[in-house]
Amino acid sequence: MTSPLLRIEHVTKSFDDVVAVDDLDLAVEEGQFVTFLGPSGCGKSTTLRLLGGFEVPDSGRIHLGDDDVTRTPPNRRDVNMVFQDYALFPHMTVERNIAFGLELKGRGRGEITRRIDELTDFLGLADLRARMPDQLSGGQRQRVALARALAPDPRLLLLDEPLGALDAKLRGQVQVELKAIQRRTGKTFVFVTHDQEEALTMSDRIVVMNAGRIEQDGTPEDLYRRPVSRFVADFIGETNLFVGTILDNRSGLVTIEWPSVGRVIAGSTTDHPPGASITLALRPESIVCRPAEPDLANRFEGRIRQRIFKGPRTTLEIEVGHETLTAAIDPATAATLTDDRLWLGWPPEAVAVLRD
């Protein structure tokens, strides 16, 4: 087993009594696309700035490979950053911007030219080399910033919400591009965003942060299907949350009494004993809706209160007992359902038992 490229050990950072990063502990393997995801103020940007060397932790250590870089200034770390506002040098051409890091590393003229050729070809900037930053579009600036940060061939590339300034359509395109670039370069990317869709699209691994701490750390699929907390379930995608009482908990199946609805079986493990009150999460697209009783462990009768057509999916607001569930089903199936009576159900593994 190789040692991880990046190790963050019990790092804490406060600003004027506000704890921005609280005892963060994390290791990142080489070649991963890791995303720190969370709302503003959750500590994700501070974590990135700690990795870049723009902040020094109050306690804890940061290792890059075998080196302790906790107090190494930014200019002596093998780490480069793509800034939120791109921070292109306004008085330099695209080419001079990209060359900046290479010149300071003392690379020869020939090598610098070769590297610029390589990167401008790779990122489709070949025709823009002589332009000034104010003559570029948002997407072009973003690529120049990326080229500039990749030029010195850093061991770790940090990206601080670099897609925030792009319009929605371009953003989707750049997400796919960025992921492809990461694959082709094999570089380790640490990406920061508050946009859950962006995180799901690009990441090999997502670290959800809240109030300076790691809320959950896993693959995009893990996080989506198996959120561990209310915060994660709520933050990533749409979800139905409901509270019930544990009746039985054995062999990987938890039986829960959901007041006014009935018994729900969840294919999950939990430490909570019978009698405890717990929160469950259920994704709208996991709910199956049928005119007749389905063959599923969890099945209930309900009434449709509202239908919302959303193109590929139709969203139904369904009244079950005194509760309301949101289901997302395909429009063809929705057309076969009558509003005042339908069956809905879901398999046990669709239900996630949350810790809070």
Among 72, 84, 113, 219, binds another protein (CB under 8 A): 84
One character per residue 39-68, x = contact with another protein (rule: CB under 8 A):
-------------xxx--------------
In the chain, what is the straight-line distance between the N-terminal and C-terminal CA atoms, in Å? 35
Among 5, 19, 132, 261, binds another protein (CB under 8 A): 132
Q: Which of residues 6-45 bind another protein (CB under 8 A)?
A: none
Among 73, 124, 252, 274, binds another protein (CB under 8 A): 73
CB of 136 to another protein, least distance (A): 8
CB of 355 to another protein, least distance (A): 38
Strand order in the sheet with 6-15: 18-28, 6-15, 59-64, 67-68
71 interacts with another protein by CB under 8 A: no
Residue 56 or 104: the one with the smaller Cβ distance to another protein is 104
Q: How far apart are CA 316 and CA 148, in angstroms?
A: 48
CA atoms within 13 A on the CB side of 9: 11
89 interacts with another protein by CB under 8 A: yes
Residue 80 neighbours by CB distance under 10 Å: 22
Q: How far apart are CA 341 and CA 99, in angstroms?
A: 67
Among 81-89, 114-122, 246-254, 298-306, which window interacts with another protein (CB under 8 A)? 81-89
105 interacts with another protein by CB under 8 A: yes
Among 9-17, 78-86, 235-243, 248-256, which window interacts with another protein (CB under 8 A)? 78-86
Residue 81 or 325: the one with the smaller Cβ distance to another protein is 81
Among 88, 236, 256, 344, binds another protein (CB under 8 A): 88
250 interacts with another protein by CB under 8 A: no
313-321: Cβ within 8 A, 24+ apart: 313/285, 315/284, 316/289, 318/287, 318/289, 318/342, 318/344, 320/261, 320/344, 321/258, 321/259, 321/260, 321/261, 321/262
101 interacts with another protein by CB under 8 A: yes
Crossing angle of helices 168-185 and 138-150, rounded to 10°:
20
Among 301, 262, 286, smallest CA distance to 348 is for 286
322 interacts with another protein by CB under 8 A: no
Residue 16 or 356: the one with the smaller Cβ distance to another protein is 16
Residue 47 or 286: the one with the smaller Cβ distance to another protein is 47
CB of 67 to another protein, least distance (A): 16
Residue 28 neighbours by CB distance under 10 Å: 21
79 interacts with another protein by CB under 8 A: yes
Question: Per DSSP, which regions of 251-356 are E strands?
Answer: 253-258, 262-266, 277-282, 288-290, 298-309, 314-320, 323-329, 342-346, 351-353
Number of chain positions touching another protein (CB under 8 A): 27
Q: How far apart are CA 223 and CA 38, in angstroms?
A: 13
Instruction: Extract the tokens encoding 243.
Output: 């509270």
Distance, C-alpha 323 to centroid of its chain: 30
100 interacts with another protein by CB under 8 A: yes
For 334, which DSSP code?
A: H
- Binding-site ranges for another protein (CB under 8 A): 52-54, 73-75, 79-81, 83-85, 87-91, 100-101, 104-105, 132-134, 148-149, 152
